[in-house]
Amino acid sequence: MTGFQRVKKVLLGLLMLAVAIGFMMEPSDEIYMAIVAILALGLAIEGIKDVVFYFMMARHMVGGKMILIQGVIILDFGLFTASLTDVPKIYILLYLIGIHAFSGVVEVLRAMEAKRAVEGPWKLKFSHGLVNFALAIACLIFIRNSNTALLIYSIGLIYSAIINILTAFRKTTFILIE
Amino acid sequence: MQEDFHYYATYCAAYLAGYTHEESLDIAYSAQFVDLCSRTLLAKIKAPLNAATTQLQLELMDARTDQVGLQDITRIWSAFHFLPRDLKAEKPGCCKRYLDKYRLICGPNGELVAKTVEYAKGKPLQSVGIAMHVLADTWAHSNFAGTPSLVINNTNYVFYELFPDGDGYREKQITFVHKASSPDDLDNSIYTNSLYQANENSIMNLGHGRAGHLPDYSFARYKYLPAWGEYSELTKDNPRDYVKAFTQMIYAMKFIRGEYDLFETETYDMQAIEPYRERIRSIIEKRQIIANDDWKAFGEELSGQTIEEHIIDKYFDEYTKSAKNEKDHTFLGRFIRGAIGHKGMVIGEIQKTGNKIAGKAK
C-alpha cells in the first residue's frame, strides 16, 4: 500500500466515525439526507470508474468480468440511493442496514476467495464481514425501536472505521524484484 | 534472478566467453550491482540520481503512481529488469492505454535485447555487466511487465508447480502466503507473493510480485494464467530458460569481445558449455533458495581462481574520494555512465513507438 492509499483509508475511516457520531448525537432528517447524498455520489463515482476501467482495460484480463459486475452493482446501488427522497426515516435506515449487510457478505466472499489463493490476510476480512453482517441482523431485530437500531448501526460504522484505520497501518507484503 | 545468477553465473559465462578472471569479476560485479544501485545508494555516494537501476522497497512504498510517478518507475524497471520483447505488439480490440502496457511485457530475443548487447560493445566492462543483467532478466522475468499493471501482471489461484515424473510432469497447486519475513517453503510449494490490489497502478502490481519469487528460482517449473493471456495456460520452464540465458550471455560477450561481427537473437553458445552441461544442469535444477555456493564452486573450478563475495561498497571510496572531473573514470563512474546511457537508449526506443509510459529520454 502506498502512502497515498494509506491516507485515503484513514480519511475514509474518519469520515465513517464522523457519520456514526453524527447519527448518535443528532439523528435528524437532515443528517439522514446528507448521508444518503454522500453515499449515492460515492457509490455512483466508484461504479462508473469500475465500468470504464472494465471497458478500457479489464475486459482483456483474466477474471476481468468481476470488475464489470462489481461496477454495475455499485452504480446501481448509487442510483437507487439517490432516488431515496421523501422516504420515511425507517426505510432509509432499513436501506442502510441492507447495504451494511451486503457489504458484510461481500467481505466474507472476498475473504473466502483470498483464502483460496493465499493464506494469511483473509482472517481479518472474514471477521470484519461477519461482524458487519451480525450487526445488520441486530439492527433488523430492533428496527421497531428506531433509536436502538440507529445506535447499533452507528456501532457497526465505528467498528468498520476502526478496521479501516487499522488496515491503513498494517504492514503489506512486497516482493523485492531482483 | 538473484545474486547466484547475476554475480556467480555471470562470472562463469564471462570466463567461458574468453575474459580473464579479473575482467570476469568486473563484469559480474556490475551485473549484480544493477540490483543494488538505488537512489538511496546514489545519494549516499553523491552520484547522479538518474543513474538508479533499481528501487528499494522503501522507495517504492513511497513512490507516486500518478503519470509522472509511473514514468519514473517504468523507466527503471523496464530498462533494467523487464526489457520489453516487442514494442509494436498488437492485440485485437485493445485501446492504446491497454496496448501501451501490453507492449512492455518482458521476454527474450526481442529487438531491444539485441540493441542492449550492441550498445555495450566497445564500452567499458561495467556496461557489459549491465547488458548481461538485462539479458538474463529477459529470460527470468518473461511474461511480466516493468510497470505497475493489474491487467498485465496479475495472477490468480490457477498456479501449479510442475515436478518431473516419468515422461511428463506431476502438478501440485502452489499456496501463496503474504509473509515476507518467512522464507519460501520449497518442500511444500508454499511461496510468498504480493497482495492482490484491485487498483490498476498499485505498486503491488509491478513486475512478477504476484508470482512471488518463482521466476527467480532456476529450478522452478510452473504453469499459471497470466492476466493478459486470454485464459490460456502458460508453462514456464526455468531450467530450460536459465540454460538459454547462460549460453546467450556467453554468445553475447563473445560478440562484444569481437569474436562475431553480428549479434543475432535466438543464438546460444551451447558448444561452450558442452563439457560442463551436466554440472550446469545439476546446479540449475537443484531445489534451493539461492545457488551462490554451487555457482561459485563451478566458477572457481573453471578459472582456478578465488571468486570473492560481492561487496556492495567495494568501490565507494574510490568514487567518493576522487576529484569531480575524475569520477567518470572510476569503476562506479563508468557504471553510472553506462547505466544512464542504457536507460536513455531504452526510453528512447519506447518513446519512438509513441508510448509515453516511460516518459522522455533526457
pLDDT single digits (tens) B84-95: 999 999 999 999
Residues of A in contact with B227 (CB under 8 A): 61-63
| Rounded CA separation B144/B102 (Å) | 9
The answer to whether A119 contacts B176, with C-beta atoms less than 8 Å apart, is yes
Q: What is the mean pLDDT of residues B129-141?
A: 98
The answer to whether A60 contacts B207, with C-beta atoms less than 8 Å apart, is no
How far B345 CA sits from the closest chain A CA (Å)?
21
Per-residue pLDDT of chain A (178 residues; tens, 9 = 90+): 566 777 888 888 898 888 888 878 877 777 777 778 888 888 899 999 999 999 999 999 999 999 999 999 999 989 988 887 777 777 777 887 888 788 888 888 877 766 665 555 677 778 888 888 888 888 888 877 777 777 877 888 888 888 888 877 776 555 566 6
How far B47 CA sits from the closest chain A CA (Å)?
22
Residues of B in contact with A49 (CB under 8 A): none
Question: Quick one: which H or E segment has residue B245?
Answer: helix B238-256
Does any CB of chain B come closer than 8 Å to the CB of residue A60? yes
The answer to whether B227 contacts A62, with C-beta atoms less than 8 Å apart, is yes
For residue A6, give the C-alpha cell: 494509506
How far B275 CA sits from the closest chain A CA (Å)?
30
| Rounded CA separation B280/B291 (Å) | 11
Q: Which residue has the higher pLDDT, B14 or A157?
A: B14
The answer as to whether A7 is a domain residue is: yes
Does any CB of chain A come closer than 8 Å to the CB of residue B182? no
Q: For residue B142, give the DSSP letter.
A: T
Please count the residue pairs, one from chain A and one from chain B, whose beta carbons lie less than 8 angstroms apart: 119
The answer as to whether A76 is a domain residue is: yes
Does any CB of chain B come closer than 8 Å to the CB of residue A52? no
Domain count, chain A: 1
Q: To the nearest whole percent, how much of chain A has pLDDT over 90?
A: 19
Residues of B in contact with A177 (CB under 8 A): 77, 81, 141, 206-209
| Rounded CA separation B45/B33 (Å) | 14
Residue A136's pLDDT is what? 82
Nearest by CB to A175, from B63, B154, B209: name it.
Answer: B209
Residues of A in contact with B102 (CB under 8 A): 60
Does any CB of chain A come closer than 8 Å to the CB of residue B151? yes
Prediction pTM value: 0.85
The answer to whether B193 contacts A175, with C-beta atoms less than 8 Å apart, is yes
Does any CB of chain A come closer than 8 Å to the CB of residue B251? no
Note whether B219 and B287 are within 8 A (CB): yes
Does any CB of chain B come closer than 8 Å to the CB of residue A2? yes
Output the CA angle B100-B103-B109, nearest 5 degrees. Answer: 160
Q: Is B215 helix (H, G, I), strand (E, B) or coil?
A: helix
Strands (E), chain B: 159-165, 168-173, 175-177, 190-192, 221-224, 234-237
Residues of A in contact with B229 (CB under 8 A): 62
Task: Kindly tell me if the per-residue pLDDT of B223 is higher than 60.
Answer: yes
Q: Give the ranges where chain A is alpha helix by DSSP (H).
A: 3-25, 29-56, 65-82, 89-117, 122-141, 146-168
For residue A140, give the C-alpha cell: 433488523
Residues of A in contact with B103 (CB under 8 A): none
The answer as to whether A11 is a domain residue is: yes
Note whether B317 and B33 are within 8 A (CB): no
Residues of A in contact with B37 (CB under 8 A): none
Nearest by CB to B60, from A57, A61, A174: name it.
Answer: A174
Single-letter amino acid, residue B191 = Y
pLDDT single digits (tens) A96-121: 788 878 888 888 887 776 666 555 56
The domains of chain B are located at: 3-150+237-352, 153-236
Report the b/e string of B155-182 with b at 16+ CB within 10 A: bbbebbbbeeeeeebeeeebbbbbebee
| Rounded CA separation B191/B175 (Å) | 6
Report the b/e string of A6-40 with b at 16+ CB within 10 A: beebbebbeebbebbebbbeebeeeebbebbeebb
Judged by average pLDDT, the poorest of A110-114, B293-297, B304-308 is A110-114
| Rounded CA separation B12/B29 (Å) | 12
pLDDT single digits (tens) B44-81: 999 999 999 999 988 887 777 788 889 999 999 999 99
Tell me the residue range of the domain where A103 lies: 3-168
The answer as to whether A176 is a domain residue is: no
Chain B interface test: which of A2, A8, A172 (most B C-beta within 10 Å): A2
Radius of gyration for chain A, computed over Cα atoms and rounded to the nearest angstrom: 17
The answer to whether A57 contacts B196, with C-beta atoms less than 8 Å apart, is no
The answer as to whether A178 is a domain residue is: no
Compute the Cα dihedral for A44, A47, A49, A52 and give only its sign. Answer: negative
Phi-psi region of B159 (alpha: psi -120 to 50; beta: other; left: phi over 0): beta
From residue A14, alpha-carbon distances to A11, A148, B332 in Å are 5, 23, 49
Question: Quick one: which H or E segment has residue B99?
Answer: helix B96-102
| Chain A: residue whose CA lies nearest to B4 | A178
| Chain A: residue whose CA lies nearest to B153 | A61
Nearest by CB to B231, from A57, A62, A119: name it.
Answer: A62
| Rounded CA separation B8/A94 (Å) | 66
Return all residues near A104 (Cβ < 8 A) that are at least 6 apart.
Answer: A128, A129, A130, A131, A132, A133, A134, A135, A136
DSSP string for B37-94 = --HHHHHHTT--GGG-----HHHHHT---SHHHHHHHHHHHHHHTS-BS-TT---TT-
The answer to whether B151 contacts A173, with C-beta atoms less than 8 Å apart, is no
Nearest by CB to A120, from B3, B61, B179: name it.
Answer: B179
The answer as to whether A157 is a domain residue is: yes
